[in-house]
Amino acid sequence: MRTTSEQRWVLGLASIGSVMVALDVLVVAAALTTIRADLGATTEQPEWTVNAYSLSFAMLLMTAAAIGDRWGRRRSYAGGLALFTVASVACALATSLPWLIVARAVQGVGAAMVMPPAHSSRRWSPTGIRLPGEPWNNTPAGPCVGSPRSGTKGS
Protein backbone atom coordinates (compact mmCIF):
# COMPACT_ATOMS: atom_id res chain seq x y z
CA MET A 1 0.00 0.00 0.00
CA ARG A 2 1.44 3.37 -1.01
CA THR A 3 1.19 6.35 1.26
CA THR A 4 -0.17 9.61 -0.02
CA SER A 5 1.15 13.05 0.72
CA GLU A 6 -1.79 13.67 3.04
CA GLN A 7 -1.05 10.51 5.02
CA ARG A 8 2.57 11.55 5.43
CA TRP A 9 1.48 14.98 6.70
CA VAL A 10 -0.90 13.42 9.22
CA LEU A 11 1.80 11.07 10.45
CA GLY A 12 4.34 13.88 10.66
CA LEU A 13 2.04 16.23 12.56
CA ALA A 14 0.88 13.49 14.91
CA SER A 15 4.48 12.52 15.59
CA ILE A 16 5.48 16.11 16.29
CA GLY A 17 2.70 16.44 18.88
CA SER A 18 3.67 13.17 20.56
CA VAL A 19 7.34 14.15 20.68
CA MET A 20 6.51 17.59 22.11
CA VAL A 21 4.45 16.07 24.90
CA ALA A 22 7.04 13.41 25.76
CA LEU A 23 10.03 15.74 25.47
CA ASP A 24 8.42 18.33 27.72
CA VAL A 25 8.44 15.93 30.67
CA LEU A 26 12.13 15.18 30.18
CA VAL A 27 13.15 18.81 29.79
CA VAL A 28 11.37 19.93 32.95
CA ALA A 29 12.71 17.00 34.97
CA ALA A 30 16.23 17.89 33.87
CA ALA A 31 15.69 21.57 34.68
CA LEU A 32 14.34 21.16 38.22
CA THR A 33 17.57 22.37 39.82
CA THR A 34 17.59 25.50 37.67
CA ILE A 35 13.87 26.10 38.33
CA ARG A 36 14.51 25.84 42.07
CA ALA A 37 17.38 28.31 41.92
CA ASP A 38 15.62 30.82 39.64
CA LEU A 39 12.35 30.86 41.59
CA GLY A 40 13.90 30.62 45.05
CA ALA A 41 12.05 27.45 45.99
CA THR A 42 12.87 24.74 48.48
CA THR A 43 14.16 21.40 47.29
CA GLU A 44 10.70 19.76 47.33
CA GLN A 45 8.60 22.53 45.78
CA PRO A 46 9.75 22.25 42.14
CA GLU A 47 8.65 18.60 42.12
CA TRP A 48 5.11 19.89 41.91
CA THR A 49 5.82 21.23 38.44
CA VAL A 50 6.26 17.62 37.33
CA ASN A 51 3.40 16.34 39.50
CA ALA A 52 0.89 18.94 38.27
CA TYR A 53 1.59 18.02 34.66
CA SER A 54 1.52 14.27 35.28
CA LEU A 55 -1.66 14.34 37.36
CA SER A 56 -3.68 16.48 34.97
CA PHE A 57 -2.40 14.47 32.00
CA ALA A 58 -3.21 11.09 33.56
CA MET A 59 -6.59 12.11 34.96
CA LEU A 60 -7.85 13.59 31.70
CA LEU A 61 -6.38 11.20 29.13
CA MET A 62 -9.47 9.00 28.82
CA THR A 63 -11.81 11.99 28.96
CA ALA A 64 -9.84 13.69 26.19
CA ALA A 65 -10.05 10.51 24.10
CA ALA A 66 -13.84 10.52 24.49
CA ILE A 67 -13.96 14.21 23.56
CA GLY A 68 -11.90 13.44 20.47
CA ASP A 69 -14.36 10.71 19.50
CA ARG A 70 -17.33 13.04 19.91
CA TRP A 71 -15.99 16.32 18.54
CA GLY A 72 -13.52 14.93 16.05
CA ARG A 73 -9.89 13.95 16.40
CA ARG A 74 -8.60 16.79 14.25
CA ARG A 75 -10.40 19.42 16.32
CA SER A 76 -9.34 17.78 19.58
CA TYR A 77 -5.72 17.55 18.43
CA ALA A 78 -5.61 21.16 17.24
CA GLY A 79 -7.25 22.45 20.42
CA GLY A 80 -4.92 20.41 22.61
CA LEU A 81 -1.88 21.57 20.69
CA ALA A 82 -3.00 25.21 20.97
CA LEU A 83 -3.65 24.83 24.72
CA PHE A 84 -0.31 23.06 25.19
CA THR A 85 1.51 25.85 23.31
CA VAL A 86 -0.20 28.68 25.22
CA ALA A 87 0.53 26.91 28.51
CA SER A 88 4.16 26.46 27.44
CA VAL A 89 4.45 30.22 26.91
CA ALA A 90 2.84 30.76 30.32
CA CYS A 91 5.42 28.40 31.85
CA ALA A 92 8.24 30.37 30.24
CA LEU A 93 6.83 33.66 31.54
CA ALA A 94 6.05 32.40 35.07
CA THR A 95 7.72 34.51 37.72
CA SER A 96 6.70 32.44 40.74
CA LEU A 97 6.40 28.78 41.54
CA PRO A 98 2.60 28.78 42.03
CA TRP A 99 2.09 30.30 38.56
CA LEU A 100 4.46 27.75 37.07
CA ILE A 101 2.60 24.89 38.73
CA VAL A 102 -0.77 26.16 37.44
CA ALA A 103 0.66 26.60 33.93
CA ARG A 104 2.10 23.07 34.05
CA ALA A 105 -1.30 21.68 35.08
CA VAL A 106 -2.91 23.44 32.10
CA GLN A 107 -0.11 22.10 29.92
CA GLY A 108 -0.99 18.60 31.11
CA VAL A 109 -4.60 19.16 30.00
CA GLY A 110 -3.36 20.15 26.54
CA ALA A 111 -1.08 17.12 26.42
CA ALA A 112 -3.99 14.85 27.34
CA MET A 113 -5.92 16.28 24.38
CA VAL A 114 -2.99 15.80 21.99
CA MET A 115 -2.06 12.20 22.72
CA PRO A 116 -5.23 10.20 21.90
CA PRO A 117 -5.73 11.65 18.41
CA ALA A 118 -1.99 11.46 17.72
CA HIS A 119 -1.84 7.79 18.59
CA SER A 120 -5.10 6.84 16.93
CA SER A 121 -3.96 8.36 13.63
CA ARG A 122 -0.90 6.09 13.68
CA ARG A 123 -2.77 2.96 14.72
CA TRP A 124 -5.40 2.83 11.99
CA SER A 125 -5.03 2.73 8.27
CA PRO A 126 -7.10 5.05 6.03
CA THR A 127 -9.33 2.10 5.14
CA GLY A 128 -10.11 1.40 8.80
CA ILE A 129 -8.24 -1.90 8.84
CA ARG A 130 -6.10 -2.54 11.89
CA LEU A 131 -2.41 -2.31 11.06
CA PRO A 132 -0.07 -5.24 11.80
CA GLY A 133 1.85 -5.06 15.03
CA GLU A 134 -1.00 -3.80 17.18
CA PRO A 135 -1.17 -3.36 20.11
CA TRP A 136 2.61 -3.21 20.34
CA ASN A 137 3.56 -0.59 17.74
CA ASN A 138 3.12 2.35 20.14
CA THR A 139 5.57 0.91 22.65
CA PRO A 140 9.37 0.74 22.63
CA ALA A 141 9.08 -3.01 22.06
CA GLY A 142 7.07 -2.45 18.86
CA PRO A 143 9.71 -3.48 16.32
CA CYS A 144 10.59 -6.62 18.28
CA VAL A 145 7.21 -7.87 19.42
CA GLY A 146 4.65 -8.80 16.83
CA SER A 147 0.93 -8.79 17.25
CA PRO A 148 -0.35 -12.14 18.42
CA ARG A 149 -3.40 -11.65 16.20
CA SER A 150 -1.60 -10.85 12.97
CA GLY A 151 1.48 -13.05 13.38
CA THR A 152 3.73 -10.23 12.12
CA LYS A 153 6.61 -8.39 13.70
CA GLY A 154 6.33 -4.64 14.19
CA SER A 155 4.40 -2.39 11.88
- pLDDT 10s per residue in the chain (155 long)? 666 777 777 777 777 888 888 888 888 889 888 999 998 888 888 889 999 999 999 999 889 888 888 888 888 888 999 999 999 999 999 999 999 999 999 999 999 998 876 666 544 444 444 444 445 445 444 444 444 444 444 44
Q: Report the alpha-carbon distance of residue 145 to residue 130 in Å, rounded.
A: 16
154, 146 contact by CB (below 8 A): yes
Q: What is the pLDDT of residue 150?
A: 45
pLDDT of residue 84: 94
Task: Give CA 137 to chain center in angstroms.
Answer: 16
d(CA 10, CA 74): 10
Count of positions (residues) in the chain: 155
pLDDT at 148: 47
Within 10 angstroms of residue 18's Cβ, the number of other Cβ atoms is 18
Give me the pLDDT at residue 1, please: 60
To the question of pTM greater than 0.95 for the whole model, the response is no
Q: What is the DSSP string of 92-153?
A: HH--SHHHHHHHHHHHHHHHHHHHHHHHHHHHB-TTSPBPTTTTTTTSTTTTTSBPTTT--B
